Amino acid sequence: MADPVSYARLQKRLTPAARVTVITGAGVSAASGVPTFRGPDGLWQSFRAEDLATPEAFARDPYLVWQWYDWRRQKIAACEPNIAHHVLASWQHQFASFTLVTQNVDGLHERAGSENVLRMHGSIWEVGCSRDCGKVPHRWRDDTVPFVALPPRCPQCDAPLRPGVVWFGEALDPDIVERCLMATNCDVFLIVGTSAVVYPAAGLVDHARRHGALTVEINPESTPATRSVDVAIAEPAEVVFPRLHDRLFS
Ligand code: APR
């Protein structure tokens, strides 16, 4: 178990009056069976991101890109939220303010009951018209698993639909980014299950520290964030969150 001092420091600041912000990465869903990206069995070990997760890759071969996303949707659909997702969902009304930011597109936070999740990289459960024809919403939810034909087509202009995720090289939703930055003005900032190498998500912890937040990393491995956080708990999220929850609320 991580040293009890780490838990005590965090527990002391997690009071009902606290403003709490959490950012999660793929590690929070690892216990649910959703592959991470950069771990030993990570998706980027078996696939090349530039072949599958860029606008250029999609323009080059929408069928190949959709084969990969349709496979990931099927895999994720078979996964359940784990205890870390459930504890985070239960915390949303326990503090003066609670903001959950995620880099994940798997939707497991929402399936566990988290509301108003700030999804920095979009959702694998949303689609949009790749031609932005304007005759359909920018993004809408489509739970079809698996799609009968790939790529799925825009119902209005018949262009290929695209996954509602943010690809490498694409801009994030500026409104989401602004709300994430505002949420770094908090008392406790938890960075959970992320390799902290993809910006702007990885930069939020620095903003939180400048706002005077207690910054805490929860990750079995060290990352570029480890040396700059106040507390580093080198344990899996599915171990830390129930343990923290018991200390705080039982
Ligand atoms: N609990 C906590 N952390 C864990 C666990 C666990 N059970 N299992 C793995 N981790 C940690 C790993 O040590 C690693 O640091 O989760 C992190 C996962 O890192 P990545 O696979 O790089 O995922 P992430 O940081 O979310 O990637 C960021 O990169 O590929 C893009 O858009 C994609 O949103 C993604 C972004």
Domain residue spans in the chain? 1-34+81-121+172-250, 35-78+124-165
Best residue among 168, 198, 243 to mutate for probing ligand 1's pocket (most ligand atoms within 8 Å of CB) is 198
Which ligand 1 atom lies nearest to the CA of residue 195? 15
Other beta carbons within 10 Å of 93 = 8
- Residue 103 Cα to ligand 1 midpoint, Å, equals 9
Does residue 66's CB lie within 6 angstroms of at least one atom of ligand 1? no
DSSP state of 153: B
Q: Per-residue pLDDT for 4 more than 80?
A: no
Closest to 126 (Cα-Cα) out of 199, 73, 200: 73
* Integer CA distances (angstroms), 100 to 60, 66, 131, 218, 240, in order: 35, 28, 31, 15, 17
Q: Say what the pLDDT of residue 1 is.
A: 56
- Residues 188-218 pLDDT 10s: 999 999 999 999 999 999 999 999 999 999 9
Q: pLDDT tens digit string along 146-161?
A: 999 999 999 999 999 9
* Of the listed ranges 4-8, 71-75, 175-179, 242-246, the one predicted with least confidence: 4-8
Residue 3: per-residue pLDDT: 75
Task: Provide φ and ψ at 87, rounded to 5°.
Answer: -65, -45
Q: Mean per-residue pLDDT for 58-87?
A: 97
Q: Is the CB of 32 under 6 A from ligand 1?
A: no
Q: Identify whether 200 is preceded by a cis peptide bond (ω within 30 of 0).
A: yes
Measure the CA–CA gap between 174 and 52, rounded to whole angstroms.
24
CATH annotation of 35-78+124-165: 3.30.1600.10
Model confidence at 49: pLDDT above 60:
yes
* pLDDT > 60? residue 79: yes
Residues 23-45, mean pLDDT to the nearest whole number: 95
pLDDT band at residue 131, thresholds of 50, 70 and 90?
very high
Q: Residue 250's pLDDT band (boundaries 50, 70, 90)?
A: confident
CB of 31 within 6 A of ligand 1: the answer is yes
Backbone angles phi, psi at 12, to 5 degrees: -65, -35
- In this predicted structure, the answer to whether residue 52 has a pLDDT above a threshold of 60 is yes
Q: How many residues comprise the chain? A: 250
d(CA 103, CA 106): 9
The pLDDT of residue 6 is 85
Nearest CA to ligand 1 atom 7: 236
138 as an active site residue: the answer is: no
% of residues, the chain, pLDDT over 70: 99
21: left (phi over 0), alpha (psi -120 to 50) or beta: beta
Look at residue 144 and tell me whether its pLDDT is greater than 70.
yes
- Tell me the H-state helices in the chain: 4-13, 43-46, 49-52, 55-60, 62-77, 83-90, 108-111, 174-183, 204-210, 237-249
Say which amino acid occupies 55.
P
Q: Is the pLDDT of residue 130 over 80?
A: yes
How much is the mean pLDDT over the chain?
96
Number of H helices, E strands in the chain: 10, 9
24 alpha-carbon distance from chain centroid: 5
Give the tens place of pLDDT for each residue, 100-118: 999 999 999 999 999 999 9
Q: What is the CATH number of domain 1-34+81-121+172-250?
A: 3.40.50.1220
Q: Is the four-CA dihedral 35, 123, 22, 198 of positive or negative sign?
A: positive
- 122-129 and 161-165 beta bridge pairing: antiparallel
Q: In the structure, what pLDDT confidence band is assigned to residue 40 with cuts at 50, 70 and 90?
A: confident
The pLDDT-based confidence of 168 (bands split at 50, 70, 90) is very high
pLDDT grade for 220, boundaries at 50, 70 and 90 = very high
Q: Which atom of ligand 1 is nearest the CA belonging to 105?
A: 34
Residue 229 CA to ligand 1 center (angstroms) comes to 17
